[in-house]
Amino acid sequence: MGLGILSGELNLSPDADGWAQLLPAGHFSAVDGRPFDVPGGQWFLDGEIADRLINQVRGLTNDRLIDYEHQTLKAEENGQPAIASGWFNADEMEWREGEGLYIKPRWTDKARDYIQSDEYRFLSAVFPYDKTTGAPVALKMAALVNYPGLDGLQKVSALKGQFQKNHKETAMEQWLKDLLARIGIEVSEDTVSTEQGQAALSAVKALKTKADSADTLTTEVAALKASAKTEGVNLSQYVPKAMYDDAVVEIASLKGSSAEQTVDQLVSDALKEGRAFKREEDYLKQFGNQQGEAALKAMLESRAPVAALKGKQTDELPDPKKQKNQDLNTDELAVLKATGISKEEFLKQRAAE
């Protein structure tokens, strides 16, 4: 950003309305050829830029100063007081299309006397400007001078640093407004409040934390990739997926077979111990396969052993006829004894009945 100082002649004739042109409209330059650091060598001012300058002044607490010979800029060097010749605010500024930016100063009595007696003739504006477009970005102050341009004043390059020291009154660059907007801080004027500044710092810190975290993850991923390339995969720690799937199926099958064998064993033991009937063998196996070994075991253990059931139980019920033939009661035995018929003949006869 550059700093411009430009002078224009005053008109304080009796019929003047008190307004004075501070900056001309359109493209303009100083008598010494400035600005030298803008393409085309000219500043530029239009209605939109003028509105921004007026709003920038409106956002300030104090009035804008008009001194003598830009003494405010030289005070640190020469030690002389910077006496005001006048003051103005945003309400005393206006844009006149085709003419330029005007101000209506409130002159001190001494300054008015100087002007009316023609001891001071020019009003010189001081403004920082965009080196790319030549557009003024703020209006710092003005001065009563007798030399157009910069004749006898400090060089622009030396004045630039002095203006940048006063951060409160420096017009905010558009890029800074855009940057703040990107992190959710909307600035309506050319100043940032303390709360907005703190919020901006917090947002920047949060973004930096995320960026640092991303850098760490990137480093870790790169390290893992490098390790994989140099060391390769340890095949002793892995098996082919197809082999793993086959093993899972086989284990499941073995578990099922083991469960069936255990159920069969529980039922077999129950039959031997007299805790179950042969006829309920199938039922008990189905119960065990459905409800599990524990449920079957609990049910069988709750039964009291029946002594008569111990030992081998046949798969079929006894043939009633065979049972009848083999078992003779007391009366039948008495008949055999009385008649002399053998047991075989008696049984044969009874079976034929």
Residue 302 pLDDT > 80, yes or no? yes
337 or 324: which carries more pLDDT confidence?
A: 337
Q: Are residues 130 and 200 in the same domain?
A: no
The 10s digit of each residue's pLDDT in 14-43 is 345 788 888 899 998 887 788 888 888 899
103 falls within a domain: yes
- Contact present, 3 and 127 (Cβ < 8 Å): yes
- Contact present, 89 and 63 (Cβ < 8 Å): yes
230 falls within a domain: no
31 falls within a domain: yes
* Of the candidates 165, 163, 144, 167, the residue with the CA atom closest to the CA atom of residue 70: 144
The structure's pTM equals 0.43
Per-residue buried b or exposed e for 87-105, using 16+ beta carbons within 10 Å of the residue's own CB: bbbbebbebeeeebbbbbb
**How far is Cα 60 from Cα 64, in angstroms, rounded to an integer?**
9
- pLDDT at position 158 is 26
Q: Are residues 21 and 155 in the same domain?
A: yes
- pLDDT at position 170 is 46
Residue 254 pLDDT > 60, yes or no? no
158 or 311: which carries more pLDDT confidence?
A: 311
The 10s digit of each residue's pLDDT in 202-245 is 777 788 788 888 878 888 787 777 766 656 666 666 667 777 67
Sorting pLDDT into bands at 50, 70 and 90, what band is 146?
confident
Q: Are residues 270 and 348 in the same domain?
A: no
Residue 90 pLDDT > 90, yes or no? yes
In degrees, to the nearest 5, what angle opens at C-alpha 66 toward C-alphas 112 and 107?
25
Residue 300 pLDDT > 80, yes or no? yes
- Boundaries of domain holding 312: 236-317
What mean pLDDT is predicted for residues 279-297? 87
226 falls within a domain: no
Q: Are residues 123 and 245 in the same domain?
A: no
Q: Are residues 245 and 346 in the same domain?
A: no
The 10s digit of each residue's pLDDT in 8-19 is 555 544 345 788
- pLDDT at position 80 is 92
Q: Are residues 186 and 120 in the same domain?
A: no
In degrees, to the nearest 5, what angle opens at C-alpha 175 toward C-alphas 185 and 64?
90
273 or 186: which carries more pLDDT confidence?
A: 273
User: Cα 341 to the chain's mean position, in Å?
Assistant: 111
- pLDDT at position 12 is 47
Q: Are residues 73 and 145 in the same domain?
A: yes
The 10s digit of each residue's pLDDT in 179-191 is 877 777 777 666 6
